Amino acid sequence: MPPEYFFENNDPKLECGPRSFFLFLDFDGTLVPIQDSPAQCFLSPKIKGQLEAIALSGKACIAILSGRTVTDIRDRVNIQGVYYGGNHGIEISGPRVNYTHPDALSGKHIIEKVCREIKQEIGNIEGAYIEKKKFGFTLHYRMANKEDKALIQIAFHRITTENSDAQIVTVMRGKKVLELAPKISWDKGKAALFMLQELKRNYLPIYVGDDVTDEAAFKALNEDGITIRVGRSKNTAAKYYLKGQWEISRFLKHIHNLMQ
């Protein structure tokens, strides 16, 4: 079934009496608009204030689950008491959780070799650049022209196929990004379930995201939680949708009002 518009539906889970929320949020494309360069993404004072109010209410936990590193996402959000999941949840840092997946460094030698070769091949293409991470790397090509975007993707897949072992590393696709990461049994959905289990409280999980990597969390939390995609799409496991990133402030206000 296609998702329903969040503000036109009253999910019975939100009306089932007093229960604390665990709000899981993606960053790029959810809390902030997508920019040509990830370095240009900053949390607006309004959104930050709304998140702080929810976090300080004592009635909710907040986790930001991003493909960025934990350090990067923590620096950009910088709210006390919030949980940060970097590299799609491979690393998690928060008040009572400090976790790194035990297989996070698997395939590191392959990933570094592929990264060097791709960097050498696309180094002169304007608008393409590599973001190196602790456990992998991301190739950004949003700012490249149309012809170069096709060449960049071909080069990435060719070099990755020639050098990598599909049993050890995996390719992750996003909005004008390609990422090479260790192939482990972990994703944003498993990371969210892990945090819920670690905190051992009866939270109502609410997950909001906009990208392919958020689909695992939608599937993991659909039965017991509320899942919301930013942007309407028929090809999503989310139960609800917001029309766009510009509605996230209205959504946070709605959640805060439910806690009063």
Distance CA 80, CA 51 (A): 10
Among residues 185, 214, 239, 1, which one has the least CA distance to residue 88? 214
User: Residue length, the chain?
Assistant: 260
The overall longest dimension of the chain from CA atoms, in Å, is 58
Whether the Cβ atoms of residue 27 and residue 64 lie closer than 8 Å to each other: yes
Query: Environment class of residue 245 by beta-carbon count within 10 Å: exposed (0-12), middle (13-18) or buried (19+)?
Result: middle
Distance CA 122, CA 104 (A): 27
- From 26, 28, 210, 214, active-site residue: 26
SS3 51: helix
Distance CA 2, CA 173 (A): 22
Distance CA 68, CA 6 (A): 27
Tokens matching residue 149 = 């975007």
Amino acid 211 reads D
Cβ neighbour number for residue 80 with a 10 Å cutoff = 8
Does residue 75 have an active-site annotation? Answer: no
- Active-site amino acid positions: 26
